[in-house]
């Protein structure tokens, strides 16, 4: 057993039980956004985790906490000093701290395999409940008039989120042990994705399969250098594709059955970028630009009203996780968000070959999150609990290069 495994075995039972509950509660509360608790209830569980960790100093003294999580809290929290809505920023920061706390306790006490199974279980429960609502109350769960979009929504906030939940569930089920139940859940996940009519989710499935094929070519004995080289070349390829795609939007969107504006997103993005560029360093206050509730009831903020006016319809977020962070916390906050993503990518690529299945799963979750966040505001929701948990869990694990057995110097000759 490794030192990390021994430390996790020594974790106090109450911490392990709390971590399991907190992670499932946080993820489930995010997945079932229309009926499940979000925000403050999840944050309350997070602060319970903080108290539990403070009461276990002997165990926590041996736990590594990635600095980027403290940086994320510090940078986003500092924006309250210049926020356009200080009260709302403070309220959202309470939620952010709770999300990070859940990630910390789960990552410190649970294995990657256990984390995968909990996230997968939350996805399965969400999909099954959604199927029940789709069959029982289709007017509420299928193309609801209030949301104005065709496709299955279930208990998720909207159809694209339901599709994304289906993708995450599929990614988790893919790495289950071979069995009939695994095949069943893969089919159930695909059914949810297809039923959501989310083009983005279908693209994510294709990218995930390409990702598996690419890393499958490396073989079980691939060195960290080869893994990092593939990640770098893949990143360069992605940048080139995005650059070419930006100049051929009508053609590419036509291939996936979308209009050139991506259902109005490009109008939102251009306005958000123009507004954020006026305060590019620190933004306007983390999660304070958009209304805290229904736009018609709250009236929104001056920025959200201007974005809605120019877009021609009510806008309650930037429809991009990266732009939401940019306009709220500026380039500094965006750098912290990318730092979290980079930490997960780097550490998963450096895991020893004995943990290759866990490494591929973590990389797969990172891939779908990075791509989906281009058009969805995932950083403003509880989905970040998954990122915090992965970052925390991965830094507890050994890096493969540090486990190599030293070889004899070449100059030594044995007679």
Q: What is the pLDDT of residues 42-95, one digit of tens each?
A: 889 999 999 999 998 888 888 899 999 999 999 999 999 999 888 888 988 999
> Which pLDDT value is given to residue 333?
94
Query: Does 404 map to a domain?
Result: no
For residues 149 and 346, the model is more confident at 346
pLDDT above 70 (res 259) = no
CA distance 130 to 157: 11
Nearest to 172 by CA among 4, 21, 23: 23
Query: Does 171 map to a domain?
Result: yes
Query: Does 9 map to a domain?
Result: yes
Query: Does 405 map to a domain?
Result: no
Helix (H, G, I), strand (E, B) or coil at 263: coil
- Which residue is listed with tokens 């309470």? 94
The neighbouring-strand residues paired with 142 are: 152
Mean pLDDT of 125-134: 95
Query: Does 412 map to a domain?
Result: no
Burial class for 152, CB neighbours closer than 10 Å (0-12, 13-18, 19+) = buried
* Calculated CA dihedral for residues 225, 230, 236, 240, nearest 10 degrees: 170
Domain span including residue 55: 3-399
Inter-residue contact 392 to 65 (CB < 8 Å): yes
The total number of structural domains in the chain stands at: 1
CA distance 380 to 383: 8
pLDDT category of residue 35 using cuts at 50, 70 and 90: confident
For the chain, the C-alpha Rg in angstroms (whole number) is: 22
> Which pLDDT value is given to residue 3?
43
Nearest to 101 by CA among 53, 31, 64, 55: 53
DSSP state of 142: B
Sign of the CA dihedral with 89 first, then 90, 91, and 92 last: positive
Mean pLDDT of 321-337: 93
Nearest to 22 by CA among 5, 47, 58: 47
Query: Does 247 map to a domain?
Result: yes
Residue 353 tokens read as 């070959």
CA distance 165 to 159: 10
For residues 343 and 354, the model is more confident at 343
Burial class for 73, CB neighbours closer than 10 Å (0-12, 13-18, 19+) = middle
CA 218 distance to own-chain centroid: 26
**Least confident segment among 22-31, 88-97, 372-381:** 372-381
What is the phi/psi pair of residue 375, to 5°?
-115, 0
> Which pLDDT value is given to residue 199?
86
Burial call 287-321: b when 16+ CB within 10 Å, e when fewer: bbbbbbeebeeeebbebbeebbeebeeebbbbbbb
pLDDT in tens, 211-256: 888 776 554 445 566 666 666 666 666 556 555 555 555 545 555 5
Mean pLDDT of 390-398: 92
CA distance 375 to 269: 9
pLDDT above 60 (res 126) = yes
> Which pLDDT value is given to residue 248?
53
Query: Does 415 map to a domain?
Result: no
Query: Does 86 map to a domain?
Result: yes
pLDDT category of residue 414 using cuts at 50, 70 and 90: very low
The neighbouring-strand residues paired with 152 are: 142
Burial class for 364, CB neighbours closer than 10 Å (0-12, 13-18, 19+) = buried
CA distance 315 to 77: 24
């Amino acid at each position: 057993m490794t030192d990390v495994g021994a430390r996790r075995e020594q974790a106090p039972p109450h911490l392990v039980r709390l971590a399991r509950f907190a992670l499932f509660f946080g993820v489930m509360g995010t997945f079932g956004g229309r009926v499940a608790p979000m925000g403050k209830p999840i944050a309350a569980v997070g602060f319970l985790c903080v108290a539990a960790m403070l009461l276990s100093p002997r165990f926590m003294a041996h736990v590594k906490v990635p600095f980027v999580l403290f940086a994320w809290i510090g940078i986003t929290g500092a924006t309250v000093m210049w926020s356009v809505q200080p009260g709302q920023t403070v309220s959202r920061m309470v939620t952010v701290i709770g999300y990070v706390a859940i990630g910390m306790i789960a990552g410190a006490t649970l294995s990657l395999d256990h984390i995968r199974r909990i996230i997968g279980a939350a996805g399965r429960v969400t999909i099954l409940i959604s199927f029940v609502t789709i069959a029982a109350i289709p007017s509420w769960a299928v193309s609801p008039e209030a949301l104005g979009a065709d496709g299955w929504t279930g208990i998720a906030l909207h159809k694209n989120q339901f599709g994304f939940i289906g993708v995450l569930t599929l990614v988790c089920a893919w790495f289950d042990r071979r069995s009939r139940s695994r095949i069943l859940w893969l089919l159930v996940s695909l059914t949810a994705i297809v039923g959501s009519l989310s083009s983005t989710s279908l693209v994510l499935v294709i990218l995930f399969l390409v990702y598996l094929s690419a890393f499958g070519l490396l073989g079980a004995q691939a060195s960290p250098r080869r893994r990092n080289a593939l990640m770098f070349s893949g990143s360069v390829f992605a940048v080139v594709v995005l650059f070419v795609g930006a100049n051929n939007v009508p053609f590419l969107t036509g291939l996936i059955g979308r209009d050139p504006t991506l259902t109005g997103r490009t109008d939102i993005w251009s306005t958000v970028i123009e507004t954020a560029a006026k305060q590019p360093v620190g933004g306007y206050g983390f999660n304070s630009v958009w209304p805290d509730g229904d736009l018609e009831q709250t009236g929104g903020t001056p920025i959200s009203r201007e974005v809605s006016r120019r877009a021609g319809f009510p806008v309650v977020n930037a429809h991009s996780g990266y732009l939401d962070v940019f306009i709220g916390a500026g380039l500094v906050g965006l750098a912290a968000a990318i730092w979290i993503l980079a930490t997960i990518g780097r550490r998963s690529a450096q895991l020893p070959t004995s943990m290759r299945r866990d490494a591929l799963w973590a990389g797969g979750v990172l891939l779908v999150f990075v791509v989906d966040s281009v058009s969805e505001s995932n950083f403003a929701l509880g989905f970040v609990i998954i990122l915090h948990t992965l970052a925390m869990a991965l830094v507890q694990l050994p890096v493969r290069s540090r486990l190599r057995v030293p070889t004899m110097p070449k100059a030594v000759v044995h007679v």
